[in-house]
Amino acid sequence: MFRRLVQLVIGCVVLSVGVALLLDARLGSDGYSTLLNGLTLATGWSFLTVTLVVGVTLLSMAWALGRPPGIGTVVQTVIVGATVNAVLPMLPGPESLAMRGLESLAGILILAVGVAAYLAAELGAGPAEAAAQSWERWVPFRWGYTALQGTSMLVGWLCGADVGMSTLAIVLVLGWLVDRLQPRLTPAHLREGPALEQPPEPVPELP
């Protein structure tokens, strides 16, 4: 359990750094962060406040569909908002298109690793991931997550957030990357769980 808690926190910090890098590169963020950034611009609220309000809304929907929150839900929501607020002002804000492209690419990869790592801890999902998981009875996670990212991108853009090539790339590939990385980052004892739960071999009866 302790290892899973550590992985949860590290994964949330990692994905937050990825979000901050994407925002700093100004070539477009992930769809969900584009939504949060757009609402921040439209309302004048802090990024942390918008993160909490939108998060509660999505989590309520997920809970209604049978995906209750867990400890990971709280940790992810708080850490992402606070970490992005802390990290973003420290980033260099490069002007060169090449450097911005490299920063954006790094942000995409770091974001995917962070999301996969915290989901692999299996201690509860944050708002966007919980919403996508709550639709799994109808569509696989990777496609539900892609749909949520795409819708969030559109709403964020309408609210004034930047949408660029990186945004489109993330909408298309983030669900696939998370789907491929998550099994590799799942703790061994969780991967082996189903095998351990197999019933024992029957003992032949004596004549």
pLDDT digits (tens, 9 = 90+) for 26-51: 888 788 878 988 999 999 998 888 98
Top-confidence residue, 118 or 202: 118
Neighbouring CB atoms inside 10 A of 131's CB total 25
**Distance between CA 40 and CA 187 in Å, rounded?**
36
- What is the mean pLDDT of the segment spanning 6-12? 91
**Distance between CA 145 and CA 135 in Å, rounded?**
9
Residue 198 pLDDT exceeds 80 = no
Q: pTM, whole model, 2 decimals?
A: 0.78
Q: Is residue 144 part of a domain?
A: yes
Number of domains in the chain: 1
Q: Is residue 103 part of a domain?
A: yes
Q: Is residue 201 part of a domain?
A: no
- What pLDDT does 121 receive? 86
Q: Is residue 106 part of a domain?
A: yes
Q: What domain range includes position 14?
A: 2-183
- What pLDDT does 192 receive? 57
Top-confidence residue, 191 or 116: 116
Is the C-alpha dihedral spanning 80, 85, 86, 87 positive or negative?
positive
Q: Is residue 138 part of a domain?
A: yes
Q: How far, CA to CA in Å, does 8 sit from each of 67, 123, 151, 159?
A: 18, 8, 26, 31
Q: Is residue 205 part of a domain?
A: no
Q: Is residue 199 part of a domain?
A: no
Q: Is residue 115 part of a domain?
A: yes
**Distance between CA 106 and CA 78 in Å, rounded?**
23
